[in-house]
Amino acid sequence: MVDRLVNSEANARRIAIVESCFGSSGQPLAVQGRVLVGEGVLTKICRKKPKARQFFLFNDILVYGNIIINKKKYNKQHVIPLEEVKLESLEDDGQLRNGWLIRTASKSFAVYAATSTEKQEWMAHINKCIEDLLRKSGKKAAEVHAAVWVPDSEANVCMRCKRNQFTVLNRRHHCRKCGDVVCGPCSNKKFLLPSQSSKPLRVCLNCYDILSKAKVQNNYQNSISSKLESKERAGSAESSCEEDSDDKEDSNQPETAPDQPKF
């Protein structure tokens, strides 16, 4: 199916349409050998609340964005190389049904399809693309994946100290290692997580302890390289972006019923 579409005129036209829907907010998508495998609307669990997002599955990347006008205009484009993706099916849980995790080294999140058939289709197609890519490149599936962030609404008190209540002034923070929602004092340390950023990131005190102990062990085995790393750590005090960039307001998003995905 995919091989037949490579270089076909129909495929080139479809990719050009996706590109024009993102306009200047997206990157060029027409690349030699790239095929648009399918598209559809999925509900993505964001930090604040679940949001409808338009997803495009290509044979080498997964692209998604905010829906400004259905089938016409999208923005906030995100591009995920499929080579580093790992899917994980989620059990149905009350209102949250037909979901799975999309995990990568730098970011992991949950998405939900409208029906179980759609879920199966999406997961099967994505997994097939990943398998084909890894087979062609001879690479191994990625093993380190970023934590899935616990949505803000699921924690009214800090998940570490269980005391500190969140308010407008007492802000929630996310540990970049475990994804838990924690208070400031319980996440006042940073640690270098190279798979996510070149700068040290906010981690909870639990994770800091675990990471530090692992590091001490590592340092013992390889003291020279760790000296260089701590020099780097001391040099970059600037804090990383706290917000999930996908979570910014999108008030003009229409409340339309999603169409069936097309593969």
Q: Give contact residues for Zn ion (rule: CB under 5 A).
A: 158, 160-161, 164, 175, 177-178, 183, 186, 204, 207
**Of 57 and 183, which CB lies nearer to Zn ion in the complex structure?**
183
Name 46's Cβ contacts closer than 8 Å, sequence gap at least 6.
Answer: 109, 151, 244, 246, 247
Nearer to Zn ion, 131 or 209 (CB): 209
Beta bridge partners of 57: 38, 62
Nearer to Zn ion, 45 or 183 (CB): 183
Q: Could you tell me the smallest distance in angstroms from the CB atom of residue 137 to Zn ion?
A: 33
Smallest gap from Cβ 155 to Zn ion, in A, equals 10
Q: Calculate the CA 236 to chain-centre distance.
A: 25
Shortest separation between residue 225's beta carbon and Zn ion, angstroms:
25
- The enclosing H or E element of 190 equals strand 189-192
At closest approach, how far in Å is the CB of 85 from Zn ion? 23
Taken as a whole, the chain contains a residue count of 263
* Cβ nearer to Zn ion, comparing 125 with 174: 174
| Cross-strand partners of 80 | 62
How far apart are alpha carbons 226 and 248 in whole angstroms? 37
Nearer to Zn ion, 67 or 158 (CB): 158
Minimum CB distance to Zn ion, residue 213 (Å): 14
Q: What are phi and psi of 236, to 5 degrees?
A: -115, 90
Mark 106-124 as b/e (b = at least 16 C-beta within 10 Å). Answer: ebbbbbbbbeeebbebbbe
Owner of token pair 């490149």: 137
